[in-house]
């Protein structure tokens, strides 16, 4: 037992262990147990969990820039949505002639708009490889350009936050337009299959869930490596004293650009994994409030810890699902209240609460500790 | 009573006597109508001219129906009716004298008063002339302007008559245009050239249309006249462009003043105090809902509702602002990003609160009478009153605020705290109290902005969200902590937006402005008018 | 391949050429903020390996001068060279630091969320690009360097504690340690003994004197007794330009200094 617990000593091990256990359980329960069993996990729940894991990945990307580099991005939803659109375009092309209009070359909404040919930026969208490239490239490039402009000219703090918000707001307006060629208001939906596997089937859904879990683990592992490397220390140094870091000889702008771009790519990947599981991507994903919700996941979980972000995303998303089912009006009250309470009372988030509680417990029952020693 | 009746009779008698002889062919509309069934194609024009001279309101509608072929008479008693065919195939039969719908008469019992093309065009002329001689100068003006579309409706002689009598200068100007258009239609290049001279830079759309048609007509107009037509058209086009610029600027300024109202509250809380209030939009929303509630409470005072709503909204939003400052923001001093998050949470709560109390649907806020209507400066440029008032109002609020901050004791304290909190406290300024008051002031002004917005957009729970980003950008663009900068930047952004709109469409215009601002902030993070000096760092 | 060569060339160029014995040239430098002339046609030369003290009243331009050298402030006009050939005005802060100009601020600034050891680690002289930082592991020589500096600044025991938890004086030392780790050619030290005890001040004086020779050291200080204890050459700044230069004795008897600086101080 003691040996088993030792497996969960560090955050990395804890996240790895819990993710592995949950994934294994869900896989077995969904695949092997009969549907009427108490322990059975339905296809619906699998997809819901998969969605939560996408959010967790997204929260991880927000924490990386906010928690470690002090860049409060209120526009990470834009990167998430761009990754999602890249995936959505691929899935749209996979529909082929099974759409309402039965046009093998053009997605339904283009037929509806009386377009004759695919716009140039849809070129190659039927290739899986190209989709993967775009999932990385589209958010990455936007973040890189935005980052270069913002960080080179030393925009920081609140100004930067508002600028990121303006960015996602502009994209929201742009993607609402039919002329943009991304399905306008309705976005991209009615997907049929991915790589030939039907998106409706339980096994595809389970596979997507497993893939998401693996990607999340991988991303967590990489992020952890980054923040513990010398580069991670530099990033924290930049967060706390950017000027000093410059005089020590670090080109702080390029560190920030690199981190921001990497974070945006993670967010894009999260979006790409999200879209096939929920079956739709529309401009609503660009709306500023979505981006802000991501920030609150991280704030509630505890920023600057990576695993706190994952905890926050899971807890808040689960709460949202429950709340909106029981009493939908109450959700915004609850979310708003969380914002206020967490910033006022829990600056370190839920995971910051844990050591405090432990210390309290040790104060109250010091004996047990001595005995254990 | 009897005396009164006699008096009227006497007056009518006098009027009848003083009537010109020619018009006295018929005593009144009723007797004139009896002649109508008997008239033939030859006598009809004369009869109609006589009728046109009658001073009776029914004449105009008789002419209208007659030109449409809707005038019939009963074969038996020669009584005259309008027969108006309905969409469902039935016909509406109306007594011409009483104007009442008649039920018991069948269309078969009636026969039509027949007209020819030439009679109908005569009727059109008569009708236009009728209005052109109307006592009301506004009706005369309209009739004259309508006549521009087809100047053949008035004879040269009658036009000349009217021109000598006309006293209203606006109408007289149009009459000159009519005369010029008539000249233009003559086959005499000297007259045509002279006419073009007076048509130069006229803004009437009909004049432009005639000229456009004329510029195509190579037979009637000699090359020399053609050139002159082109030049006149170009000058008209210039004038129109000028006024469309003026209109764009006006629209831009009115959008700018809305932005200004939305942003100056923020310029205080953000610029002076350094507090990022994401619930600023919701303060506006509260102001708009205050207007709604006031209109609901005093349905008899709609005309005054806005005047009541302005102080009320200031108080409501201001008090909510003070509450927010005392309960949340004061604990987050010096932590701007946390303040941003907490106030965002507050904005969500306020939105949901409004949704729960007032329903998620948009509420209807009524515009008082005096806010509607417009001032038509010329045919292509008019100024709507609501926009005009908003521009004026926003400037009043701006300058009052400016004076308040410069001259009042509280204003001095606000600036002192903003510049050096510790020093101000050392001078026994109660910085906590000043913070609360400043925040309340900024929020209260947002509430006033909400009253104005209730006149322009839908009042709903999302009203504030639409403006929060814009407001921040205005403040940042103008330079944080600089009220004049906020004014300039709001107006610049407003005008820029309206000039882009016709080129790119409204959504693209917003996007372009947003993206442009993002670039601008990167180039000049301190805004248009940065605060200078070593203290900035 | 060709590009790589040129990058190599650029790093080569960052070694200052001091064949004339001068490591810092400032010629006709002027800086103004909104009409206020912080530096006014200033000329200053720092010799390779010397210890130079800068004194002057508040607003004489001492901090602005350091800002100009380290790239924080761009002068309106003038020439600032590192050695004969490196034009500092063309480099940004990070590049100037990498070229070998270290700076200690008036207010001690260390990376508070990092440990003392990490603070020194980040300051070590090495490739400071992202790629290198991602994969970097300390080698034996670098570890020895850090240990030696820890001993020098007397923070060996606090090595794994957070820098933010150090006392004011300890932060001063840590910052000096960070300077040493970067092995700069020129050290710009702004008020190093502010807030230090007498004993610490003496140690600082010792340290700075020992550094001169291998490094060039420029010290800005208000504490005249401290200046007297370390100074070989002193430069007096007044209203943004050099008023006088020489040994402490020469300065004290310089008529202009007496009139302007000491005179002002005595009233």
Contacts of A254 in chain C (CB under 8 A): 130
Q: Which of B168-177, B284-293, C241-250 has the lowest mean pLDDT?
A: B168-177
| Whether B109 and B139 share a structural domain | no
Q: Does A138 touch chain B (CB under 8 A)?
A: no
Quick one: pLDDT band at residue C144, thresholds 50, 70, 90?
Answer: very high
Rounded Cα distance between B153 and B118, Å, is 11
The minimal CB distance from A250 to the residues C94, C109, C136 is found for C94
Q: Is residue B536 part of a domain?
A: no
Task: Tell me, yes or no, whether B185 and B320 share the same domain.
Answer: no
CA R_g for chain C:
19
CB contact under 8 A, C113 and A236: yes
- Residue from A231, A247, A259 whose CB has the most chain C CBs within 10 Å, to mutate: A247
What tokens were used for A168? Answer: 């996602």
Last residue of a domain, one of B119, B147, B178: B119
pLDDT digits (tens, 9 = 90+) for A325-335: 888 778 888 88
Average pLDDT of B326-349?
87
Q: Which residues of A touch C (CB under 8 A)?
A: 226, 229-231, 233-234, 236-237, 239-241, 243-252, 254-255, 258
Section C32-38 average pLDDT:
80
CA distance A274 to A208: 9
Which of C90, C88, C145, C154 has the alpha carbon at shortest distance from C121? Answer: C145
Write the residue in A158, A292, A342 that is nearest to B336 by C-beta: A158
Q: Would the pLDDT of C143 be above 60?
A: yes
Min Cα separation A86/chain B (Å): 22
CB-closest option in A236, A239, A246 to C94: A246
Structure tokens at B97: 């004298």
CA closest to B360 among chain A residues: A329
User: Taking 80 as the threshold, does the pLDDT of residue B13 lie above it?
Assistant: no
Which has more pLDDT, B276 or A231? A231
Name the most confidently modeled range: A73-87, C132-146, C173-187, C219-233: A73-87
Quick one: B112 and B157 in the same domain? no
Residue C105, chain A, CB below 8 Å: the answer is yes
The reply to whether C130 falls in a domain is: no
Least CB-CB distance to B328: which of A162, A174, A340?
A340
- Same domain as B418, residue B296: yes
Q: What was the pLDDT predicted at C203? A: 85
Interface test with A, best of B263, B331, B333, B345 (most A CBs within 10 A): B345
Lowest mean pLDDT across A133-147, A189-203, B460-474: B460-474
Does the CB of C136 have a partner CB in chain A at under 8 Å? yes
Chain C residues within 8 A of B532 when measuring between CB atoms: 33-34
Q: Are B50 and B192 members of one domain? A: no
**Chains with ≥3 Cβ pairs under 8 A against C?**
A, B
User: How far is the CA of B279 from the CAs of A156, B266, C126, C142, in angstroms?
Assistant: 22, 10, 48, 52
Predicted pLDDT of residue B171: 81
Same domain (yes/no): B45, B143: no
Closest CA to A26 of A50, A58, A57: A50
Pairwise CB contact (< 8 Å): A339 & B346: yes
Q: Which of A236, A248, A257, A259 is the best substitution to test chain C (most C C-beta atoms within 10 A)?
A: A248
CA closest to C33 among chain B residues:
B533
Hey, what are B510's tokens? Answer: 């917003």
Same domain? B148 vs B91: no
B214/B327 same-domain check? no
Q: Are residue B301 and residue B205 in the same domain, yes or no? A: no
Cα separation, C100 vs C133, in Å, equals 19
The alpha carbon of residue C92 is apart from the nearest alpha carbon of chain B, in Å, by 17
Quick check: A373 contacting B, CB < 8 Å?
A: no
| More confident site: A64 or B348 | A64
User: Which of B27-41, B86-100, C154-168 is most confident?
Assistant: C154-168
| Model confidence at A188: pLDDT above 90 | yes
Q: Which residues of chain B are at the C interface, by a Cβ-Cβ cutoff of 8 Å?
A: 532-534
Residue pair B252/B499 in contact (Cβ under 8 Å)? The answer is yes
Strongest mean pLDDT among A72-81, C76-85, C241-250: A72-81
Chain A residues touching C128 at Cβ < 8 A: 249-251
Contact list, B355 vs chain A (CB under 8 Å): 329, 332
Does position A363 have pLDDT exceeding 90, yes or no?
A: no
pLDDT of residue A63: 96
Q: Which residue in B521, B526, B536 has the most chain A C-beta atoms within 10 A of its own C-beta, making it the best mutation to test that interface? A: B521
Residue A304 in tokens: 């600057």
Residue A7 pLDDT: 62
Range of the domain at C227: 17-110+184-266
| Higher pLDDT among residues A326 and A142, named by residue | A142
* Residue B233: predicted pLDDT: 82
Query: Tokens for B120?
Result: 């109908």
Would you list which residues of chain C are within 8 Å, Cβ to Cβ, of chain B?
33-34
B5 lies in a domain? no
Q: How far apart are CA B285 and CA B449, in angstroms?
A: 9
Instruction: State residue A293's pLDDT score.
Output: 87
Q: Are residues B62 and B143 in the same domain?
A: no
φ, ψ at C108 (rounded to 5°): -60, 125
The H-assigned helical ranges of B298-384 are 302-327, 336-358
Q: Are residues B346 and B199 in the same domain?
A: no
**Looking at CA atoms only, how far is residue A136 from chain B in angstroms?**
23
Q: Do B345 and A343 touch (CB under 8 A)?
A: yes
Q: In Å, what is the CA distance from B465 to each residue of B91, B206, B468, B493?
A: 55, 45, 5, 18
Q: Which chains touch B (3 or more CB pairs under 8 A)?
A: A, C
Domain range list for chain A: 59-202+229-305+312-372
Summarised one tens digit per residue, pLDDT across range A68-120 is 999 999 999 999 999 999 999 999 999 988 888 888 888 888 988 889 888 99
Mean pLDDT across chain C, nearest whole number? Answer: 84
C204-218 pLDDT tens trace: 888 888 888 888 999
In terms of residue numbers, what domain contains B139? 133-221
pLDDT of residue B536: 37
Tally of structural domains, chain B = 3
Strand C216-220 with B381-384, pairing: unpaired
CB of B510 closer than 8 Å to CB of B490: no
**Arithmetic mean of pLDDT, A234-254:** 92
Lowest mean pLDDT among A196-200, B193-197, B312-316, B457-461: B193-197
Q: What percent of chain A has pLDDT over 70?
A: 95
Give the model confidence (pLDDT) of B480-514 as tens digits.
777 888 899 999 988 988 888 888 877 788 778 87
Q: How far apart are the CA of B533 and the nearest CA of chain C, in angstroms?
A: 6
User: Nearest-CA residue of chain C relative to A237?
Assistant: C111
- The dihedral built from the CA positions of residue B510, B511, B516 and B521, taken in this order, carries a sign that is positive
Question: Number of folded domains in chain C?
Answer: 1
Region B89-109 average pLDDT: 79
pLDDT of residue B384: 86
> Quick one: pLDDT band at residue B5, thresholds 50, 70, 90?
low
In a domain, C68, yes or no: yes
pLDDT, tens digit (0-9, with 9 covering 90-100), for A10-22: 778 888 888 889 8
Q: State the smallest CA–CA distance between residue B337 and chain A in angstroms.
A: 7
Residue A226 has pLDDT above 80, yes or no: yes
Which residues of chain B lie closer than 8 angstroms to C33, CB-CB?
Answer: 532-534
3-state secondary structure B191-202: HHHHHHHHHCCC
Residue C93 touches partner A, C-beta closer than 8 Å: yes
Average pLDDT value for residue range C37-49: 89
Which strand (E) or helix (H) includes residue A92?
helix A76-95
> CATH number of the domain that C247 lies in?
3.40.50.300
CB B204 within 8 A of CB B240: no
Instruction: Please give, rounded to a whole number of angstroms, the shortest distance from the CA of A173 to a CA of chain B.
Output: 7
What ipTM, to 2 d.p.?
0.85
- Residue C163, token pair as written in the block: 């820098």
Residue B228 lies in a domain: no
DSSP letter string over C214-234? TBEEEEE-S-HHHHHHH-SEE
Identify whether residues B291 and B393 lie together within a single domain: yes
Contact B522 A176 (CB under 8 A): no
Residue of C nearest to A246 (CA): C94
Residue C259 clears pLDDT 50, i.e. is over it? yes
Give the model confidence (pLDDT) of B145-176 as tens digits. 777 777 777 777 777 777 787 778 888 888 88
CB < 8 Å to C182, chain A: 248-249
Q: Give the residue from A183, A210, A205, A182 showing the smallest Cα distance to A194.
A: A205
Nearest CB neighbour to A250, from listed C103, C118, C128: C128
C22: closest CA among C48, C51, C60? Answer: C48
Question: Across all residues in chain B, what is the average pLDDT?
Answer: 81
Distance from CA of C38 to the nearest CA of B (A): 11
C174/A contact by beta carbon, under 8 A: no
The region of weakest confidence among A188-202, A253-267, B208-222, C64-78 is B208-222
Nearest CA in chain B to C38: B534
A185 interface with B at CB cutoff 8 Å: no
């Amino acid at each position: 037992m003691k040996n088993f617990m030792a497996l969960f000593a560090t955050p990395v091990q804890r996240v790895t262990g819990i993710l592995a256990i949950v994934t294994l359980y869900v896989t077995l329960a969904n695949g092997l147990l009969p549907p009427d069993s108490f322990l059975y996990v339905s296809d619906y729940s699998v997809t819901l969990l998969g969605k939560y894991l996408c959010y967790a990945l997204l929260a991880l990307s927000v924490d990386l820039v906010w928690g470690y580099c002090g860049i409060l991005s209120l526009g990470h939803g834009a990167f998430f949505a761009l990754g999602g659109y890249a995936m959505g375009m691929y899935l749209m092309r996979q529909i082929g002639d099974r759409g309402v209009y039965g046009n093998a070359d053009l997605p339904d909404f283009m037929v509806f708009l009386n377009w004759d040919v695919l716009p140039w930026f849809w070129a190659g969208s039927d290739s899986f490889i190209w989709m993967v490239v775009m999932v990385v490239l589209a958010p990455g490039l936007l973040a890189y350009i935005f980052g270069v402009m913002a960080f080179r000219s030393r925009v920081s703090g609140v100004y930067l936050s508002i600028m990121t918000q303006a960015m996602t707001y502009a994209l929201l307006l742009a993607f609402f337009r039919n002329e943009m060629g991304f399905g306008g208001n309705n976005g991209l939906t009615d997907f049929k299959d991915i790589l030939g596997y039907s998106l409706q089937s339980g096994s595809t859904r389970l596979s997507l869930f497993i893939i998401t879990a693996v990607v999340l683990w991988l991303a967590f592992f990489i992020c952890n490596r980054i923040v513990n490397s010398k580069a991670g220390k530099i990033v924290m140094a930049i967060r706390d004293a950017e000027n000093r870091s410059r005089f020590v000889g670090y080109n702080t702008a390029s560190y920030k650009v690199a981190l921001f771009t990497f974070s945006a790519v993670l967010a894009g990947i999260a979006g790409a994994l999200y879209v096939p599981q929920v079956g739709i991507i529309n401009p609503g994903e660009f709306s500023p409030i979505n981006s802000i919700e991501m920030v609150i996941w991280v704030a509630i979980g505890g920023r600057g810890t990576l695993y706190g972000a994952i905890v926050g995303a899971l807890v808040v998303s689960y709460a949202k699902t429950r709340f909106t089912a029981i009493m939908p009006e109450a959700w915004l009250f609850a979310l708003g209240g969380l914002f206020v309470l967490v910033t006022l009372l829990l600056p370190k988030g839920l995971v910051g609460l844990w050591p405090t509680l432990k210390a309290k417990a040790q104060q109250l029952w010091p004996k047990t500790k001595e005995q254990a020693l | 009573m009897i005396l009164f009746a006699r008096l009227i009779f006497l007056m009518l008698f006098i009027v009848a006597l003083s009537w010109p002889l020619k018009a006295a062919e018929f005593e009144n509309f009723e007797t004139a109508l009896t002649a109508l069934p008997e008239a033939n194609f030859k006598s009809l024009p004369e009869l109609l001219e006589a009728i046109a001279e009658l001073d009776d309101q029914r004449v105009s509608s008789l002419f209208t129906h007659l030109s449409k072929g809707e005038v019939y008479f009963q074969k038996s008693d020669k009584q005259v009716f309008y027969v108006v065919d309905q969409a469902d195939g039935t016909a509406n039969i109306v007594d011409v004298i009483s104007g009442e719908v008649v039920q018991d008469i069948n269309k078969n019992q009636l026969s039509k008063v027949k007209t020819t093309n030439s009679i109908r065009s005569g009727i059109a002329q008569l009708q236009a002339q009728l209005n052109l001689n109307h006592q009301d100068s506004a009706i005369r003006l309209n009739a004259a302007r309508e006549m521009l579309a087809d100047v053949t409706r008035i004879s040269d002689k009658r036009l000349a008559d009217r021109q000598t009598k006309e006293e209203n200068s606006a109408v007289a100007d149009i009459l000159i245009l009519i005369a010029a258009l008539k000249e233009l239609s003559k086959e005499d290049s000297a007259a045509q050239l002279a006419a073009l001279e007076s048509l130069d830079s006229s803004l009437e759309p009909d004049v432009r249309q005639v000229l456009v048609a004329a510029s195509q007509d190579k037979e009637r107009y000699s090359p020399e006249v053609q050139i002159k037509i082109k030049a006149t058209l170009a000058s008209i086009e210039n004038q129109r462009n000028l006024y469309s610029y003026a209109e764009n600027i006006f629209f831009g300024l009115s959008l700018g003043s809305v932005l200004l109202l939305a942003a100056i509250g923020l310029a205080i809380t953000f610029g002076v105090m350094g507090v990022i209030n994401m619930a600023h939009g919701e303060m506006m929303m509260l102001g708009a809902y205050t207007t709604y509630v006031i209109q609901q409470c005093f349905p008899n005072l709609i005309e005054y509702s806005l005047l009541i709503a302005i102080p009320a909204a200031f108080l409501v939003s201001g008090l909510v602002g003070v509450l927010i400052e005392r309960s949340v923001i004061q604990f987050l001093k010096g932590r701007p990003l946390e303040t941003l998050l907490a106030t965002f949470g507050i904005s969500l709560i306020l939105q949901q609160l409004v949704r729960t109390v007032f329903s998620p649907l948009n509420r209807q806020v009524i515009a008082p009478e005096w806010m509607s209507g417009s001032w038509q400066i010329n045919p292509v440029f008019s100024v709507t009153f609501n926009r005009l008032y908003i521009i004026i109002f926003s400037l009043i609020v701006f300058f009052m605020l400016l004076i308040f901050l410069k001259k009042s004791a509280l204003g001095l304290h606000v600036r002192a705290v903003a510049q050096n909190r510790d020093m101000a406290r050392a001078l026994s300024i109660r910085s906590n109290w000043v913070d609360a008051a400043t925040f309340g002031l900024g929020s209260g002004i947002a509430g006033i902005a909400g009253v104005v917005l209730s006149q322009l957009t839908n009042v709903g729970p999302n009203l504030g969200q639409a403006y929060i980003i814009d407001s921040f950008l205005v403040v940042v663009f103008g330079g944080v902590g600089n009220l004049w900068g906020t004014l300039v930047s709001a107006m610049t952004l407003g005008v820029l937006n309206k000039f882009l709109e016709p080129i790119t469409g409204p959504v693209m215009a917003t996007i372009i402005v947003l993206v442009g601002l993002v670039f601008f902030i990167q180039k000049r993070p301190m805004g248009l008018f940065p605060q200078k000096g070593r203290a900035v760092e | 391949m060709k590009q790589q060569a040129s990058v190599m060339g650029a790093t080569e160029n960052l070694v200052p050429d001091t064949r004339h014995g001068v490591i810092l040239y400032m010629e006709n430098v002027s800086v103004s903020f909104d009409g206020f002339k912080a530096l006014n046609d200033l000329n200053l030369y720092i010799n390779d390996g010397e210890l130079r003290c800068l004194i002057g009243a508040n607003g004489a331009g001492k901090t602005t001068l350091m800002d100009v050298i380290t790239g924080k402030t761009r002068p309106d006009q003038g020439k600032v060279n590192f050695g004969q050939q490196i034009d500092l005005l063309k480099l940004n802060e990070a590049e100037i630091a990498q070229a070998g100009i270290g700076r200690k601020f008036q207010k001690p600034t260390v990376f508070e969320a990092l440990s003392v050891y990490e603070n020194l680690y980040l300051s070590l002289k090495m490739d400071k690009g992202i790629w290198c930082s991602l994969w970097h592991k300390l080698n034996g020589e670098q570890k020895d360097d850090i240990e030696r500096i820890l001993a020098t600044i007397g923070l060996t025991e606090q090595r794994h504690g957070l820098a933010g938890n150090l006392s004011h004086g300890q932060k001063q030392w840590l910052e000096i340690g960070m300077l040493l780790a970067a092995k700069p050619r020129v050290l710009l030290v702004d008020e190093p003994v502010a807030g230090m005890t007498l004993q610490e001040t003496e140690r600082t004086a010792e340290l700075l004197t020992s550094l001169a020779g291998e490094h060039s050291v420029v010290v800005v200080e208000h504490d005249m007794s401290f200046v007297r204890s370390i100074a070989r050459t002193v430069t007096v700044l007044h209203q943004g330009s050099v008023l006088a230069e020489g040994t402490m004795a020469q300065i004290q008897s310089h008529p202009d200094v007496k009139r302007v600086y000491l005179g002002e101080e005595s009233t």
